[in-house]
Amino acid sequence: MSVDAATVKRVAHLSRIAVDDADVPKLQGELNAILGFVEQLNEVDVSGVEPMTSVTPMVMKKRQDIVNDGEIASEIVANAPASEDDYFMVPKVIE
């Protein structure tokens, strides 16, 4: 399979990465090189094979459903590019 220019733009948008139209052909070539490389997986007979879900089989430990952290709002927003009163600030979302 290979991607066309429209697919590159669609994937860029799904990835939330702005791509200039002028950069699409180069990106398309690079993505197709990678997709061409992974094509060899089609040679493998995978019928009846379970997909891997955990590389090291183990029972997932559960934690107690209790509060063990908190009251650190100012630490959480400390690295935000914009914050006010311990809230993250974003451009207006609702008209």
Partner 1 sequence: MFSDIPVTDLTRLTLTEAREGLKAKQFSATELAKAHIAAVEQARALNAYVLETPEHALKQAAASDEKLAKGDAGPLEGLPLGIKDLFATKGVRTTACSRILGNFVPPYESTVSSQLWRDGAVMLGKLNNDEFAMGSSNESSAFGPVVNPWRRAQSSAKLVPGGSSGGSAAAVAAHLCLAATATDTGGSIRQPAAFTGTVGIKPTYGRCSRWGIIAYASSLDQAGPIGKTVRDCAVMLRSMAGHDPKDTTCVDRPVPDYEASVGRSVKGMRIGIPKEYRLEGLNAEIDALWQQGIDWLKAAGAEIVEISLPHAKYALPAYYIVAPAEASSNLARYDGVRYGLREQGRDIVEMYEKTRAAGFGAEVRRRIMIGTYVLSSGYYDAYYLRAQKVRTLLKRDFEQVYDQGIDAVLTPATPSSAFGIGEQGSSDPVEMYLNDVFTVTVNMAGLPGISVPAGLDSQGLPLGLQLIGRPFDEETLFSLGQVIEEAAGRFPVGERWWA
Residue 69 CB, nearest approach to partner 1 (Å): 10
Location of structure tokens 């183990």: 58
Task: Tell me if 12 contacts partner 1 by CB under 8 A.
Answer: yes
CB 35 within 8 Å of CB 1: yes
User: 47-79: b or e for each residue (b if 16 or more CB lie within 10 Å)?
Assistant: eeeeeeeeeeeeeeeeeeeeeeeeeeeeeebee
Q: Binding of partner 1 at residue 34 (CB under 8 A)?
A: yes
The footprint of partner 1 on residues 52-71 (CB under 8 A) is 52-56, 58, 60-61, 63
In a 10 Å sphere around its CB, with 0-12 CB exposed, 13-18 middle and 19+ buried, how is residue 41 labelled?
Answer: exposed
Q: Which one of 33, 66, 67, 86 is in contact with partner 1 (CB under 8 A)?
A: 33
Judged by the rule CB under 8 A, the positions of this chain that interact with partner 1 are 1, 3, 7-8, 11-19, 27, 30-31, 33-35, 37-44, 46, 49-56, 58, 60-61, 63, 72, 75-82, 88, 90-93
